[in-house]
Homo-oligomer: A and B are copies of this chain.
Amino acid sequence: MRYLVAFILIYLVLGCSKEEPPQKDKSAIEDPQQQFEWKLVTSWPKNFPGLGTAPEKFASLVERMSSDRLKIKVFGAGQLVPAFEVFDAVSQGISEMGHGASYYWTGKAEETVFFTSVPFGLNAQEINGWLHYGGGLALWRELYEPFNLIPFAGGNTGVQMAGWFNREINSMEDLKGLKMRIPGLGGEVITRAGGTSVTMPGNELYTSMQTGVIDATEWVGPYNDLALGFHQVAKYYYYPGWHEPGAMLEFIVNTDAFERLPDDLQAIVEVATRAVNQDMLDEYTAKNNQALSELIQKHGVKVRKLPEPVLSELSKLSNEVIKEISSRNDLSSRIAESVADFKEHSMAYHFISEEAYYEARRVLSD
């Protein structure tokens, strides 16, 4: 929350006094061999597994494809700007590019959340379909255009876990008074359910769980959770993740910087983001598989399912929260309607395809 406040202040001070965009250097387009050097600031610790290695891969692909005509230096959170100032830094041209998550910028516009993940919303396969073939990307670009930014999908973690708990969750009563690290709309839902939602960086979570400062925390999924050692300080690992069913990351590019690139380098940037977008989900799929097995078999983790009446109440509260965001202005209404329509059709189709297949395969192997 303190980040959010700092954020709003920075925005009020800096964001509104937008500098003149630099003059476009037309010679750039005329000299096909011109070299470019870009900075890429991120919201993650340098080389953090999955989230932080994705922008490194992006930079390396772009450099290979461009024969080093576009060199990209990647910065971890805090190295050039803090984690939650990536949006402003790229918007203002301090850095040409950024990697983070759209829902970190709800201080700018609440509807950014639709471009990461909303409770009971689209999963990874669906949000990619919506973005690239359901009108999502055009809406996202419209939302970011006033900030002089062009967004691209930047990876996906898949369905996240509901989190680590030191309290059994058998009914809504058990959420009352629960202190849980859970950001975004999920946090708002937990608050409405009578809990207290806390926002804190990943590196403080282990100690906070151990000392009882918080009773529960969500993070990502088995791969990243195992690395942080939550199984040593929490009693139960709950599923299914209802609050972030397919968290999409983002690449953002400063519009002026992008327009200064010749067409081939623009294409290289765009196609590399698309490749990395898939690559991250591939990595999470494979590594979550392995990590879950290790958590259960080696560390004896107790995996529990949230009871249906609890999920049902969380779903009602989520709908309330989403409805409030969806009616702020014309653009938020159009985004919310587009997502809702895509979700309705996806649910109908995936009921007879992906879901039915998962179920059939599992039942037969029992």
Answer whether residue A17 sits at the interface, using C-beta atoms and an 8 A cutoff.
no
The answer on a CB contact under 8 Å between B245 and A361 is yes
The answer on a CB contact under 8 Å between B354 and A354 is yes
If A242-B360, A358-B358 touch, whether A264 touches B64 (CB-CB below 8 Å) is yes
Q: Please report which residues of chain A, range 116-139, place their CB below 8 angstroms from some CB of chain B when the two chains form the complex.
A: 120, 123-126, 128-134
A348 contact set on B, CB distance < 8 A:
289, 292-293
If A125-B124, A353-B239 touch, whether A32 touches B67 (CB-CB below 8 Å) is yes
The answer on a CB contact under 8 Å between A130 and B286 is yes
Interface 9-residue window, one of A6-14, A167-175, A207-215, A266-274: A266-274
Distance (whole angstroms) from the CB of A296 to the closest CB of chain B: 8
A288's contact among B61, B351, B353, B356, by CB below 8 Å, is which? B353
Q: Give A residues with C-beta under 8 Å from B.
A: 32, 61, 64-67, 120, 123-126, 128-134, 158-159, 161, 221-222, 239-242, 245, 262-264, 267-268, 271-272, 274-275, 277-279, 281-290, 292-293, 303, 305, 308, 311-312, 315, 342, 345-365
Most buried by B among A279, A347, A361: A361
Name the CB-closest residue of B to A268.
B65
If A267-B65, A275-B271 touch, whether A158 touches B353 (CB-CB below 8 Å) is yes
Distance (whole angstroms) from the CB of A253 to the closest CB of chain B: 16
A133's contact among B134, B161, B221, B282, by CB below 8 Å, is which? B282
Distance (whole angstroms) from the CB of A3 to the closest CB of chain B: 28
The answer on a CB contact under 8 Å between B133 and A283 is yes
13 A-B pairs with C-beta separation under 8 A: A65-B65, A120-B360, A132-B279, A133-B283, A158-B354, A159-B357, A240-B352, A288-B349, A289-B342, A308-B360, A311-B364, A347-B362, A355-B359
